[in-house]
A and B are shown apart, each in its own frame.
Chain A
Amino acid sequence: MKAEIIERSGGFAREVEIASGASVMRCYQCQKCSSGCPIAGASDLKPHELVRLIQLGAREEALSSRFIWECTSCETCATRCPQAVELPAAVDALRRLARAAGKLTPDTTVPTFNDIFLGAVRRMGRVHELSLLAAFKLHTRSFGQDLGKFPVMLWKRKIRLLPAFVRGRAARERIFQRTREPQRKT
Protein backbone atom coordinates (compact mmCIF):
# COMPACT_ATOMS: atom_id res chain seq x y z
CA MET A 1 0.00 0.00 0.00
CA LYS A 2 1.57 3.24 -1.12
CA ALA A 3 0.23 6.36 0.50
CA GLU A 4 1.75 9.76 0.45
CA ILE A 5 1.22 11.61 3.68
CA ILE A 6 -0.42 14.78 2.52
CA GLU A 7 -1.47 16.27 5.81
CA ARG A 8 -0.01 15.65 9.21
CA SER A 9 -2.77 17.41 11.08
CA GLY A 10 -5.40 14.79 10.40
CA GLY A 11 -7.44 17.36 8.48
CA PHE A 12 -8.99 14.83 6.14
CA ALA A 13 -9.69 12.43 9.00
CA ARG A 14 -11.50 15.22 10.80
CA GLU A 15 -13.48 16.04 7.67
CA VAL A 16 -14.60 12.39 7.44
CA GLU A 17 -15.37 12.24 11.15
CA ILE A 18 -17.56 15.33 10.97
CA ALA A 19 -19.34 14.15 7.83
CA SER A 20 -19.98 10.65 9.17
CA GLY A 21 -19.83 10.61 12.96
CA ALA A 22 -17.39 7.71 12.70
CA SER A 23 -14.33 7.93 14.95
CA VAL A 24 -11.73 6.75 12.45
CA MET A 25 -8.77 7.90 14.56
CA ARG A 26 -9.60 5.23 17.15
CA CYS A 27 -8.55 2.43 14.77
CA TYR A 28 -5.34 0.63 15.79
CA GLN A 29 -5.17 -1.61 12.73
CA CYS A 30 -6.10 -4.96 14.26
CA GLN A 31 -7.60 -5.99 10.88
CA LYS A 32 -10.61 -7.71 12.37
CA CYS A 33 -12.75 -5.74 9.88
CA SER A 34 -10.80 -7.10 6.94
CA SER A 35 -11.12 -10.69 8.20
CA GLY A 36 -14.89 -10.57 7.95
CA CYS A 37 -15.36 -8.19 5.02
CA PRO A 38 -17.14 -9.88 2.09
CA ILE A 39 -15.36 -7.77 -0.53
CA ALA A 40 -11.89 -7.45 1.05
CA GLY A 41 -10.46 -10.15 -1.20
CA ALA A 42 -11.90 -8.74 -4.39
CA SER A 43 -11.60 -4.96 -4.04
CA ASP A 44 -8.60 -2.65 -4.41
CA LEU A 45 -8.39 -2.01 -0.67
CA LYS A 46 -9.17 -3.83 2.53
CA PRO A 47 -11.25 -1.97 5.13
CA HIS A 48 -8.35 -1.46 7.56
CA GLU A 49 -6.29 -0.05 4.70
CA LEU A 50 -9.00 2.45 3.85
CA VAL A 51 -9.12 3.57 7.49
CA ARG A 52 -5.35 3.97 7.46
CA LEU A 53 -5.52 6.14 4.34
CA ILE A 54 -8.07 8.37 6.05
CA GLN A 55 -5.91 8.61 9.17
CA LEU A 56 -2.91 9.57 7.06
CA GLY A 57 -4.85 12.24 5.22
CA ALA A 58 -4.53 10.48 1.87
CA ARG A 59 -7.66 12.12 0.50
CA GLU A 60 -6.96 11.38 -3.15
CA GLU A 61 -6.38 7.65 -2.68
CA ALA A 62 -9.41 7.22 -0.40
CA LEU A 63 -11.85 9.11 -2.62
CA SER A 64 -10.78 7.47 -5.85
CA SER A 65 -10.72 3.92 -4.48
CA ARG A 66 -12.99 1.27 -5.97
CA PHE A 67 -13.65 0.05 -2.43
CA ILE A 68 -16.03 2.87 -1.53
CA TRP A 69 -18.32 1.84 -4.39
CA GLU A 70 -17.95 -1.90 -3.82
CA CYS A 71 -18.62 -1.90 -0.06
CA THR A 72 -22.02 -3.57 0.40
CA SER A 73 -22.80 -1.73 3.67
CA CYS A 74 -23.20 -5.14 5.34
CA GLU A 75 -22.01 -3.66 8.68
CA THR A 76 -19.93 -6.73 9.57
CA CYS A 77 -16.83 -4.57 10.17
CA ALA A 78 -18.63 -2.19 12.52
CA THR A 79 -20.29 -5.07 14.36
CA ARG A 80 -16.95 -6.69 15.15
CA CYS A 81 -14.71 -3.63 15.57
CA PRO A 82 -13.20 -3.58 19.10
CA GLN A 83 -12.84 0.21 18.81
CA ALA A 84 -16.40 0.80 17.59
CA VAL A 85 -15.31 2.52 14.38
CA GLU A 86 -18.47 3.02 12.30
CA LEU A 87 -16.72 2.35 9.02
CA PRO A 88 -19.92 1.97 6.90
CA ALA A 89 -20.92 5.50 7.91
CA ALA A 90 -17.45 6.74 6.95
CA VAL A 91 -17.77 4.99 3.57
CA ASP A 92 -21.13 6.70 2.99
CA ALA A 93 -19.41 10.02 3.73
CA LEU A 94 -16.55 9.19 1.34
CA ARG A 95 -19.10 8.45 -1.40
CA ARG A 96 -20.59 11.90 -0.93
CA LEU A 97 -17.18 13.59 -0.78
CA ALA A 98 -16.05 11.69 -3.89
CA ARG A 99 -19.09 12.83 -5.84
CA ALA A 100 -18.68 16.41 -4.62
CA ALA A 101 -15.02 16.34 -5.70
CA GLY A 102 -15.84 14.76 -9.06
CA LYS A 103 -13.66 11.77 -8.23
CA LEU A 104 -15.80 8.88 -9.36
CA THR A 105 -14.08 5.66 -10.32
CA PRO A 106 -14.88 5.38 -14.03
CA ASP A 107 -16.72 2.07 -14.07
CA THR A 108 -19.06 2.55 -11.11
CA THR A 109 -22.74 2.82 -11.93
CA VAL A 110 -23.87 2.97 -8.31
CA PRO A 111 -24.36 6.77 -8.16
CA THR A 112 -26.43 6.68 -11.37
CA PHE A 113 -28.58 3.93 -9.90
CA ASN A 114 -29.03 5.88 -6.65
CA ASP A 115 -30.04 9.06 -8.49
CA ILE A 116 -32.66 7.26 -10.58
CA PHE A 117 -33.93 5.46 -7.48
CA LEU A 118 -34.30 8.64 -5.43
CA GLY A 119 -35.78 10.52 -8.39
CA ALA A 120 -38.56 7.93 -8.49
CA VAL A 121 -39.21 8.27 -4.77
CA ARG A 122 -39.39 12.02 -5.19
CA ARG A 123 -41.90 11.87 -8.05
CA MET A 124 -44.04 8.87 -7.15
CA GLY A 125 -43.37 8.19 -3.48
CA ARG A 126 -42.40 4.61 -4.21
CA VAL A 127 -39.97 2.78 -6.42
CA HIS A 128 -41.43 0.96 -9.37
CA GLU A 129 -38.87 -1.73 -10.11
CA LEU A 130 -39.63 -2.12 -13.80
CA SER A 131 -39.26 1.59 -14.64
CA LEU A 132 -36.20 1.80 -12.37
CA LEU A 133 -34.56 -0.98 -14.33
CA ALA A 134 -35.53 0.50 -17.69
CA ALA A 135 -34.19 3.95 -16.75
CA PHE A 136 -30.97 2.43 -15.43
CA LYS A 137 -30.43 0.47 -18.64
CA LEU A 138 -31.02 3.59 -20.71
CA HIS A 139 -28.47 5.54 -18.71
CA THR A 140 -25.79 2.87 -18.64
CA ARG A 141 -26.53 1.32 -22.04
CA SER A 142 -26.49 -2.11 -20.40
CA PHE A 143 -29.46 -3.40 -22.35
CA GLY A 144 -28.30 -7.00 -22.56
CA GLN A 145 -27.76 -7.63 -18.84
CA ASP A 146 -30.47 -9.82 -17.31
CA LEU A 147 -32.81 -9.32 -20.26
CA GLY A 148 -33.42 -13.07 -20.40
CA LYS A 149 -34.93 -12.95 -16.93
CA PHE A 150 -37.79 -10.74 -17.97
CA PRO A 151 -40.13 -13.46 -19.38
CA VAL A 152 -39.52 -15.75 -16.39
CA MET A 153 -40.21 -12.98 -13.91
CA LEU A 154 -43.33 -11.99 -15.79
CA TRP A 155 -44.49 -15.61 -15.79
CA LYS A 156 -43.72 -15.95 -12.09
CA ARG A 157 -45.72 -12.78 -11.45
CA LYS A 158 -42.69 -11.03 -10.02
CA ILE A 159 -43.14 -7.90 -12.10
CA ARG A 160 -45.64 -5.19 -11.42
CA LEU A 161 -46.36 -3.55 -14.74
CA LEU A 162 -47.83 -0.23 -13.64
CA PRO A 163 -46.34 2.11 -11.07
CA ALA A 164 -48.23 3.42 -8.08
CA PHE A 165 -48.40 7.14 -7.43
CA VAL A 166 -48.66 8.13 -3.78
CA ARG A 167 -50.36 11.34 -2.80
CA GLY A 168 -48.38 14.12 -1.15
CA ARG A 169 -45.97 15.05 -3.91
CA ALA A 170 -45.60 18.62 -2.62
CA ALA A 171 -44.58 17.38 0.82
CA ARG A 172 -42.02 15.01 -0.74
CA GLU A 173 -40.70 17.79 -2.91
CA ARG A 174 -40.10 19.84 0.24
CA ILE A 175 -38.23 16.97 1.91
CA PHE A 176 -35.92 16.54 -1.06
CA GLN A 177 -35.32 20.28 -1.43
CA ARG A 178 -34.48 20.69 2.24
CA THR A 179 -32.06 17.79 2.28
CA ARG A 180 -30.29 19.31 -0.72
CA GLU A 181 -29.53 22.46 1.27
CA PRO A 182 -25.94 22.85 2.54
CA GLN A 183 -25.31 20.37 5.32
CA ARG A 184 -23.39 22.39 7.88
CA LYS A 185 -24.62 25.71 9.11
CA THR A 186 -22.09 26.15 11.91
Chain B
Amino acid sequence: MSYVFYPGCSLESTARDYRDSALAVSRALGIELRVLPNWICCGSTAAHQSDPRLALALPAKNLAAAGAPTAAGAPVAAAASTAVGVPTLVVCCAACYNRLKTANYRIAGDPAIRGQVAEVIGADYDGSTPVKHLLEVLSEKAVLSEIAARLVRPLRGLRVASYYGCLLVRPPEVMQPDDPENPMLMDKLLASCGAEPLDWPHKVECCGASYSITKVDSVRRLSREILAQARDAGADCLATACPLCQSNLDLRQREIEAQFGERFRLPIFYFTQLLGLALGLSPAEVSLRSMIEDPRPCLERRGVLPCAAGCGGASR
Protein backbone atom coordinates (compact mmCIF):
# COMPACT_ATOMS: atom_id res chain seq x y z
CA MET B 1 0.00 0.00 0.00
CA SER B 2 1.34 3.39 -0.96
CA TYR B 3 0.08 6.92 -0.38
CA VAL B 4 1.08 10.51 -1.00
CA PHE B 5 1.98 12.09 2.32
CA TYR B 6 1.25 15.70 3.26
CA PRO B 7 3.27 16.46 6.42
CA GLY B 8 2.27 20.08 7.11
CA CYS B 9 4.34 22.74 8.87
CA SER B 10 3.99 21.53 12.46
CA LEU B 11 5.33 18.08 11.60
CA GLU B 12 8.58 19.75 10.52
CA SER B 13 9.11 21.31 13.93
CA THR B 14 7.09 21.03 17.17
CA ALA B 15 5.50 17.79 16.01
CA ARG B 16 8.61 16.20 14.55
CA ASP B 17 7.99 13.31 16.95
CA TYR B 18 4.53 12.83 15.39
CA ARG B 19 6.08 12.65 11.90
CA ASP B 20 8.87 10.29 12.94
CA SER B 21 6.55 7.93 14.78
CA ALA B 22 3.99 8.01 11.96
CA LEU B 23 6.64 7.13 9.40
CA ALA B 24 8.13 4.42 11.62
CA VAL B 25 4.74 2.82 12.24
CA SER B 26 3.84 2.96 8.56
CA ARG B 27 7.15 1.39 7.59
CA ALA B 28 6.64 -1.40 10.13
CA LEU B 29 3.21 -2.13 8.65
CA GLY B 30 4.37 -2.05 5.04
CA ILE B 31 2.60 1.20 4.21
CA GLU B 32 4.58 3.53 2.00
CA LEU B 33 4.18 7.27 2.60
CA ARG B 34 5.77 9.37 -0.13
CA VAL B 35 6.06 13.05 0.68
CA LEU B 36 4.26 15.35 -1.77
CA PRO B 37 7.07 17.27 -3.51
CA ASN B 38 7.06 21.03 -2.87
CA TRP B 39 3.98 20.94 -0.68
CA ILE B 40 2.95 24.29 0.77
CA CYS B 41 1.17 25.32 3.97
CA CYS B 42 -2.60 24.68 4.07
CA GLY B 43 -3.19 28.20 5.42
CA SER B 44 -4.59 26.86 8.68
CA THR B 45 -6.69 29.13 10.91
CA ALA B 46 -4.89 32.27 9.75
CA ALA B 47 -6.20 31.86 6.20
CA HIS B 48 -9.83 31.09 6.98
CA GLN B 49 -10.00 33.98 9.45
CA SER B 50 -8.58 36.33 6.83
CA ASP B 51 -9.83 35.39 3.38
CA PRO B 52 -12.20 32.60 2.34
CA ARG B 53 -10.68 32.29 -1.14
CA LEU B 54 -7.16 32.00 0.19
CA ALA B 55 -8.38 29.37 2.67
CA LEU B 56 -9.51 27.23 -0.28
CA ALA B 57 -6.74 28.11 -2.72
CA LEU B 58 -3.79 26.98 -0.57
CA PRO B 59 -5.15 23.47 0.09
CA ALA B 60 -6.38 23.22 -3.53
CA LYS B 61 -2.89 23.93 -4.81
CA ASN B 62 -1.60 20.89 -2.90
CA LEU B 63 -4.55 18.69 -3.79
CA ALA B 64 -4.20 19.50 -7.47
CA ALA B 65 -0.45 18.75 -7.32
CA ALA B 66 -1.07 15.40 -5.64
CA GLY B 67 -3.27 14.29 -8.52
CA ALA B 68 -1.36 15.96 -11.35
CA PRO B 69 1.07 14.16 -13.66
CA THR B 70 4.72 15.00 -13.04
CA ALA B 71 7.14 16.14 -15.73
CA ALA B 72 8.00 12.51 -16.32
CA GLY B 73 4.39 11.85 -17.22
CA ALA B 74 3.57 9.66 -14.26
CA PRO B 75 1.41 10.90 -11.40
CA VAL B 76 3.33 12.07 -8.33
CA ALA B 77 2.60 8.73 -6.80
CA ALA B 78 2.46 6.20 -9.56
CA ALA B 79 2.20 3.38 -7.08
CA ALA B 80 0.02 5.36 -4.72
CA SER B 81 -3.16 4.18 -6.22
CA THR B 82 -6.57 3.24 -5.09
CA ALA B 83 -8.58 0.88 -7.28
CA VAL B 84 -9.26 3.61 -9.84
CA GLY B 85 -5.73 4.95 -9.87
CA VAL B 86 -6.35 8.23 -8.03
CA PRO B 87 -3.62 8.87 -5.48
CA THR B 88 -4.86 9.36 -1.92
CA LEU B 89 -3.35 12.14 0.16
CA VAL B 90 -2.59 11.03 3.73
CA VAL B 91 -2.40 13.62 6.50
CA CYS B 92 -1.35 13.48 10.18
CA CYS B 93 -2.11 17.01 11.36
CA ALA B 94 -5.79 17.45 12.23
CA ALA B 95 -5.72 21.10 11.14
CA CYS B 96 -4.26 20.36 7.69
CA TYR B 97 -6.68 17.46 7.36
CA ASN B 98 -9.60 19.74 8.13
CA ARG B 99 -8.52 22.45 5.68
CA LEU B 100 -7.83 19.95 2.86
CA LYS B 101 -11.18 18.20 3.31
CA THR B 102 -13.01 21.51 3.57
CA ALA B 103 -11.46 22.64 0.27
CA ASN B 104 -12.58 19.41 -1.42
CA TYR B 105 -16.07 19.72 0.03
CA ARG B 106 -16.58 23.32 -1.08
CA ILE B 107 -14.93 22.97 -4.50
CA ALA B 108 -16.73 19.75 -5.43
CA GLY B 109 -20.02 21.03 -4.09
CA ASP B 110 -20.26 24.39 -5.85
CA PRO B 111 -19.23 25.12 -9.46
CA ALA B 112 -19.02 28.85 -8.68
CA ILE B 113 -16.48 28.21 -5.92
CA ARG B 114 -14.59 25.79 -8.18
CA GLY B 115 -14.39 28.58 -10.75
CA GLN B 116 -13.16 31.12 -8.20
CA VAL B 117 -10.45 28.78 -6.95
CA ALA B 118 -9.38 27.95 -10.52
CA GLU B 119 -9.00 31.64 -11.19
CA VAL B 120 -6.81 32.09 -8.12
CA ILE B 121 -4.54 29.05 -8.49
CA GLY B 122 -4.47 29.12 -12.28
CA ALA B 123 -5.64 25.52 -12.72
CA ASP B 124 -9.02 23.85 -12.67
CA TYR B 125 -9.20 21.51 -9.70
CA ASP B 126 -12.44 19.54 -9.30
CA GLY B 127 -12.17 18.60 -5.61
CA SER B 128 -11.70 14.89 -6.22
CA THR B 129 -8.28 14.01 -4.74
CA PRO B 130 -9.14 11.68 -1.82
CA VAL B 131 -7.86 12.82 1.58
CA LYS B 132 -7.44 10.48 4.54
CA HIS B 133 -6.16 10.94 8.04
CA LEU B 134 -3.49 8.42 9.03
CA LEU B 135 -5.89 7.27 11.73
CA GLU B 136 -8.32 6.17 9.01
CA VAL B 137 -5.60 4.41 7.02
CA LEU B 138 -4.47 2.48 10.09
CA SER B 139 -8.05 1.58 10.98
CA GLU B 140 -8.72 -0.25 7.74
CA LYS B 141 -9.54 -3.93 8.15
CA ALA B 142 -6.43 -5.20 6.39
CA VAL B 143 -4.17 -2.96 8.47
CA LEU B 144 -5.86 -3.94 11.71
CA SER B 145 -5.23 -7.60 11.03
CA GLU B 146 -1.62 -6.74 10.16
CA ILE B 147 -1.33 -4.99 13.53
CA ALA B 148 -2.81 -8.00 15.30
CA ALA B 149 -0.25 -10.24 13.59
CA ARG B 150 2.68 -8.01 14.54
CA LEU B 151 1.70 -7.19 18.10
CA VAL B 152 4.86 -7.89 20.10
CA ARG B 153 4.40 -5.52 23.03
CA PRO B 154 0.71 -5.34 23.89
CA LEU B 155 -0.29 -2.22 25.85
CA ARG B 156 -2.15 -4.42 28.32
CA GLY B 157 -3.70 -2.50 31.18
CA LEU B 158 -2.74 0.94 29.87
CA ARG B 159 -5.70 3.22 30.48
CA VAL B 160 -5.81 5.68 27.59
CA ALA B 161 -8.10 8.65 27.15
CA SER B 162 -8.41 9.13 23.40
CA TYR B 163 -8.63 12.83 22.70
CA TYR B 164 -9.91 13.83 19.27
CA GLY B 165 -10.47 17.56 19.71
CA CYS B 166 -12.33 19.69 17.17
CA LEU B 167 -10.78 19.49 13.77
CA LEU B 168 -10.86 15.73 13.22
CA VAL B 169 -14.61 15.52 13.66
CA ARG B 170 -16.21 18.90 12.95
CA PRO B 171 -18.07 19.99 10.96
CA PRO B 172 -19.36 16.42 10.57
CA GLU B 173 -20.83 16.90 7.07
CA VAL B 174 -17.29 17.71 5.88
CA MET B 175 -15.15 15.52 8.12
CA GLN B 176 -17.47 12.48 8.06
CA PRO B 177 -16.35 11.00 11.40
CA ASP B 178 -17.85 7.76 12.70
CA ASP B 179 -19.63 9.82 15.38
CA PRO B 180 -19.08 13.58 15.89
CA GLU B 181 -19.97 13.51 19.60
CA ASN B 182 -18.41 10.19 20.55
CA PRO B 183 -15.86 9.13 17.93
CA MET B 184 -14.37 5.66 18.45
CA LEU B 185 -11.76 5.31 15.70
CA MET B 186 -8.73 5.97 17.92
CA ASP B 187 -10.26 4.01 20.80
CA LYS B 188 -10.68 0.95 18.59
CA LEU B 189 -7.19 1.24 17.14
CA LEU B 190 -5.62 1.46 20.60
CA ALA B 191 -7.83 -1.38 21.87
CA SER B 192 -6.46 -3.50 19.03
CA CYS B 193 -3.01 -2.82 20.56
CA GLY B 194 -4.21 -4.19 23.88
CA ALA B 195 -4.76 -0.82 25.58
CA GLU B 196 -7.82 -0.02 27.63
CA PRO B 197 -9.62 2.97 26.04
CA LEU B 198 -11.65 5.01 28.49
CA ASP B 199 -15.18 6.28 28.21
CA TRP B 200 -14.73 9.93 29.16
CA PRO B 201 -16.62 13.15 28.48
CA HIS B 202 -14.09 15.50 26.84
CA LYS B 203 -13.14 13.56 23.69
CA VAL B 204 -14.22 16.33 21.33
CA GLU B 205 -13.94 19.44 23.49
CA CYS B 206 -11.73 22.29 22.30
CA CYS B 207 -8.22 22.82 23.77
CA GLY B 208 -7.97 26.39 22.47
CA ALA B 209 -5.83 25.17 19.61
CA SER B 210 -4.64 28.01 17.43
CA TYR B 211 -4.71 30.60 20.22
CA SER B 212 -1.70 28.96 21.87
CA ILE B 213 0.33 32.09 21.10
CA THR B 214 -2.30 34.81 21.01
CA LYS B 215 -4.67 33.93 23.87
CA VAL B 216 -2.76 31.77 26.30
CA ASP B 217 -5.16 32.29 29.23
CA SER B 218 -7.99 30.85 27.17
CA VAL B 219 -5.86 27.86 26.14
CA ARG B 220 -4.88 27.15 29.76
CA ARG B 221 -8.49 27.25 30.93
CA LEU B 222 -9.75 24.91 28.19
CA SER B 223 -6.81 22.51 28.35
CA ARG B 224 -7.16 22.28 32.12
CA GLU B 225 -10.72 21.01 31.73
CA ILE B 226 -9.57 18.29 29.36
CA LEU B 227 -6.70 17.18 31.61
CA ALA B 228 -8.96 17.18 34.68
CA GLN B 229 -11.63 15.08 32.99
CA ALA B 230 -9.05 12.57 31.79
CA ARG B 231 -7.46 12.32 35.23
CA ASP B 232 -10.86 11.93 36.93
CA ALA B 233 -11.75 9.14 34.52
CA GLY B 234 -8.65 7.30 35.76
CA ALA B 235 -6.45 7.80 32.69
CA ASP B 236 -2.77 6.86 32.72
CA CYS B 237 -2.24 9.04 29.68
CA LEU B 238 -3.92 10.75 26.73
CA ALA B 239 -3.61 9.92 23.05
CA THR B 240 -3.93 12.68 20.43
CA ALA B 241 -3.93 12.94 16.65
CA CYS B 242 -3.25 16.68 16.40
CA PRO B 243 -0.01 18.67 16.86
CA LEU B 244 -1.84 21.65 18.38
CA CYS B 245 -3.70 19.52 20.94
CA GLN B 246 -0.54 17.67 21.89
CA SER B 247 1.45 20.85 22.32
CA ASN B 248 -1.23 22.63 24.38
CA LEU B 249 -1.76 19.68 26.72
CA ASP B 250 1.88 18.66 27.08
CA LEU B 251 3.97 21.82 26.81
CA ARG B 252 1.57 23.86 28.95
CA GLN B 253 0.67 21.14 31.47
CA ARG B 254 3.04 22.27 34.22
CA GLU B 255 2.01 25.93 33.97
CA ILE B 256 -1.65 24.84 34.06
CA GLU B 257 -0.92 22.81 37.20
CA ALA B 258 0.75 25.84 38.77
CA GLN B 259 -1.98 28.29 37.82
CA PHE B 260 -4.92 26.18 38.97
CA GLY B 261 -3.25 24.33 41.84
CA GLU B 262 -3.88 20.94 40.27
CA ARG B 263 -1.76 17.90 39.64
CA PHE B 264 -2.07 15.90 36.43
CA ARG B 265 1.32 14.53 35.33
CA LEU B 266 -0.37 12.95 32.32
CA PRO B 267 1.84 11.96 29.37
CA ILE B 268 0.33 13.18 26.08
CA PHE B 269 1.13 10.64 23.35
CA TYR B 270 0.52 10.83 19.68
CA PHE B 271 -1.51 7.70 18.89
CA THR B 272 1.31 6.69 16.52
CA GLN B 273 3.78 6.53 19.42
CA LEU B 274 1.58 4.09 21.35
CA LEU B 275 0.93 2.03 18.24
CA GLY B 276 4.66 1.94 17.50
CA LEU B 277 5.48 0.68 20.98
CA ALA B 278 2.87 -2.06 20.60
CA LEU B 279 4.46 -3.08 17.31
CA GLY B 280 7.79 -3.49 19.10
CA LEU B 281 9.47 -0.28 17.95
CA SER B 282 12.01 1.15 20.36
CA PRO B 283 11.27 4.24 22.48
CA ALA B 284 13.78 6.13 20.31
CA GLU B 285 12.05 5.08 17.08
CA VAL B 286 8.80 6.64 18.31
CA SER B 287 10.58 9.70 19.80
CA LEU B 288 9.44 9.25 23.39
CA ARG B 289 12.18 11.61 24.54
CA SER B 290 10.43 14.52 22.83
CA MET B 291 7.51 14.34 25.23
CA ILE B 292 7.64 16.94 28.01
CA GLU B 293 5.63 14.92 30.57
CA ASP B 294 7.75 11.81 31.07
CA PRO B 295 5.87 8.77 29.69
CA ARG B 296 8.19 6.18 31.24
CA PRO B 297 6.65 5.91 34.72
CA CYS B 298 3.20 5.03 33.36
CA LEU B 299 4.60 2.67 30.72
CA GLU B 300 6.74 0.91 33.33
CA ARG B 301 3.92 0.76 35.84
CA ARG B 302 1.74 -1.02 33.29
CA GLY B 303 4.59 -3.26 32.18
CA VAL B 304 4.71 -1.90 28.63
CA LEU B 305 8.38 -1.02 29.03
CA PRO B 306 10.81 -2.89 31.30
CA CYS B 307 11.38 -1.16 34.60
CA ALA B 308 14.47 0.97 34.95
CA ALA B 309 17.05 -0.17 37.50
CA GLY B 310 15.79 -0.37 41.04
CA CYS B 311 12.08 -0.62 40.39
CA GLY B 312 12.06 -4.35 41.01
CA GLY B 313 8.92 -5.13 39.03
CA ALA B 314 8.54 -7.80 36.40
CA SER B 315 9.80 -6.72 33.01
CA ARG B 316 8.59 -7.77 29.65
Hey, which bits of chain A sit against chain B, CB under 8 A?
38-39, 42, 70, 72-76, 78-79, 92, 95-96, 108-110, 113-115, 117-118, 120-121, 125-130, 133, 136, 145-146, 149, 152-153, 156-160, 164, 166-168, 171-172, 174-176, 178-180, 183
Contact = CB atoms under 8 A, between A and B. Distances in A.
A118 to B, nearest CB: 5
Contacts of B204: 76
Interface stretch (B115-123, B133-141, B142-150, B270-278): B115-123
Contacts of B29: none
Given A96-B50, A175-B58, A121 B41 contact: yes
B49 A114 contact: yes
A74 to B, nearest CB: 4
A158 B49 contact: no
Given A157-B290, A166-B39, A179-B53, A75 B218 contact: no
B119 A178 contact: yes
A63 to B, nearest CB: 14
Given A70-B218, A95-B49, A127 B166 contact: no
B205 A38 contact: yes
Nearest to B53: A179
B128 interface: no
Given A75-B171, A109-B214, A167-B38, 14 more contacts: A42-B218, A74-B166, A74-B206, A75-B166, A76-B166, A76-B204, A121-B41, A126-B12, A157-B289, A158-B15, A175-B58, A175-B120, A176-B54, A178-B120
A78 B172 CA distance: 9
16 contacts: A42-B221, A70-B211, A70-B215, A72-B208, A72-B222, A79-B171, A92-B49, A95-B49, A117-B46, A118-B46, A121-B47, A126-B9, A156-B289, A156-B291, A157-B17, A179-B54
A115 B47 CA distance: 9
Nearest to A20: B52
B214 A96 contact: no
B45 A158 contact: no
Contacts, number: 150
A164 to B, nearest CB: 7
B132 interface: no
B54 A118 contact: yes
B211 A110 contact: yes
A175 B12 contact: no
A147 B316 CA distance: 40
Contact of A121 (B40, B121, B213): B40
Interface of B: 9-10, 12-17, 38-41, 43-54, 57-58, 61, 119-122, 166, 170-172, 180, 204-206, 208-211, 213-216, 218, 221-222, 251, 287, 289-292
Contacts of B290: 156-158
Given A117-B44, A121-B41, A172-B40, A76 B54 contact: no
Nearest to B209: A72
B13 A114 contact: no
Contacts of A72: 166, 206, 208-211, 218, 222
B16 A158 contact: yes
Contacts of A120: 41
B41 A160 contact: no
Contact of A118 (B43, B209, B222): B43
A129 B13 contact: yes
A38 B41 contact: no
Nearest to A88: B171
Contacts of B50: 95-96, 114-115, 118
A15 to B, nearest CB: 15
A73 B45 contact: yes
A110 B12 contact: no
A79 B170 contact: yes
A168 B64 CA distance: 14
A172 B61 CA distance: 9
A115 B12 CA distance: 21
